[in-house]
Amino acid sequence: MRESMKNEMTLEFDAISDNESFARVAVAAFVSHLNPTLEEIADIKTAVSEAVTNSIIHGYDNLYGYGRQGGGRAAHQKIHPGKVRIHCVLEGDSLHIEIRDRGKGIEDVEKAMEPLFTTRPELERSGMGFAFMEAFMDDLEVDSRPGEGTCVTMQKRLGAGSWIDGED
Amino acid sequence: MQEQKTGTEDWEGFQVVNNCLMVRLPEEVDHHKAGIFSERADWYIVKKKVDHVIFDFQDTRFMDSSGVGVIMGRYKKISCLGGRVYIVNADRQVRRILRLSGMDRLVEVVEAHPGDGKGGESPSAENMSSIMGKPVICRDVSLKTAQKAAQK
C-alpha cells in the first residue's frame, strides 16, 4: 500500500504550438515516479495535448508557431500574446490536472464538447478533442466564459488498471 | 498560404510509388506538426493526382486528434476522387486513437505483422501494391473478435 502523498506543480508557458509537445511531456514526467503504465502515460499525454492545443488555437487564435516543421520559414501570421497555465496535483494515486487560459472562451460549452463539432472546420482538425479528453481521463469538467478564458479540469486515477487490458 | 513547390525532388517523408503517395509521419503527430503534412499531401493529391494515400506510422509514437484530422482531411479529398487511404505500421497508441475516432472504419488499417505478430514482413512502399491488389485488407481483427466474445 502506497503511503498517501501530495505533490503539486504549476507550469506557465506562451500559447504557441511549439509548446504543445513540451506541455504533455512535462505532465507525463511529473507522474513518472508513480510508475504509470504505458497506456496511462499515453492517455495523459493525449488529454493534455488536446486541452493545450485548444487553448492555443481556439483560445488565443495562434494557428502556427515559430517556424513550422520542415518549412524553416517565419510564421506569416502574427503571434497573439497569451499564456497557458497547467496546474497538477498528485494526491495518492489520483492525478488532478487544471489547464487554464485567458483566451476568448467558449460560447456554448455543451456544443463544443460534442464529438466532431468544431468552430474551425477549415483547420481540418477532427473535432474530437474533448471526446478524447473524456475517453482518456476519468473525469472532465470545462468551465468557460466568453472573453475571459477557459479552464479544463481533468482527473485520473493511476494504477487502476487499464481499460485496454486484453484488447490486443 | 499554400507553399510553392520548386524542383522535382520530393519533400522529406513523401514518396510516390506506382502513383500512390507514401507519407512517412513524424515521431509526434500533433497540431504543431500536422499542418505542413496536410498541406503537402494535398499538393500531391490535387497537383500530382495520386491514386491512393498511404500513411506510414513507423516512426510515430504519439498522435492526438490533430493527427486524426490529417487522415480525415486526406480521406475526404482522395475518396472524392475514387482513391483510398491506407495506414501501415501503426503501433498500439496510434491504433487506439484510430479506433476511438472511428477512423479505422473509413480507412484501411493494414496489419504491420500479419500472422503470429512477430517477424512478419512490414508493409513498405514496394510491397504495398501487392497488398492493395487484394479485395479485402486485413483489418484490426482482434477488436472484432473480442467484441464478439464479449457478447456471448
Q: Which among B23, B69, B90, B109 is positioned nearest to A50, based on CA atoms? A: B69
pLDDT band at residue B25 using 50, 70 and 90 as cut-offs: very high
Max CA separation in chain A (angstroms): 54
Told to judge if A2 belongs to the known catalytic residues of this protein, a careful annotator would answer: no
Indicate the pTM of the whole model: 0.81
Please identify among residues 93-112 of chain A the ones whose CB lies closer than 8 Å to any CB of chain B.
Answer: none
B15: burial class by Cβ within 10 Å (0-12, 13-18, 19+)? middle
- Where are the strands (E) in chain B, listed by range? 14-17, 20-24, 28-29, 52-56, 62-63, 85-88, 108-110
* Catalytic residue, candidates A24, A40, A54, A62: A54
How crowded is residue A109: how many other Cβ atoms within 10 Å of its Cβ? 15
Q: Is A135 helix (H, G, I), strand (E, B) or coil?
A: helix
* pLDDT over 70 at B134, yes or no: no
Q: How many residues does chain B have?
A: 152
Q: Are B66 and A125 a contacting pair at CB < 8 A?
A: yes
Q: Which among A105, A153, A159, A116 is positioned nearest to A133, based on CA atoms? A: A153
- Report ipTM (2 d.p.): 0.83
pLDDT band at residue A117 using 50, 70 and 90 as cut-offs: confident
- A53-75: pLDDT as tens digits: 999 999 999 887 776 544 444 44
Contact A119, A58 (CB under 8 A): yes
Told to judge if A7 belongs to the known catalytic residues of this protein, a careful annotator would answer: no
CA distance B73 to B70: 5
Mean pLDDT, chain B, rounded, equals: 78
Kindly list the residues from chain A whose CB atom is less than 8 angstroms away from the CB atom of residue B11: 70
- Taking residues A121-136, report their average pLDDT: 88
Cell digits for B61? 509514437
Output B23 or B4, whichever has higher pLDDT. Answer: B23
CA distance B66 to B86: 18
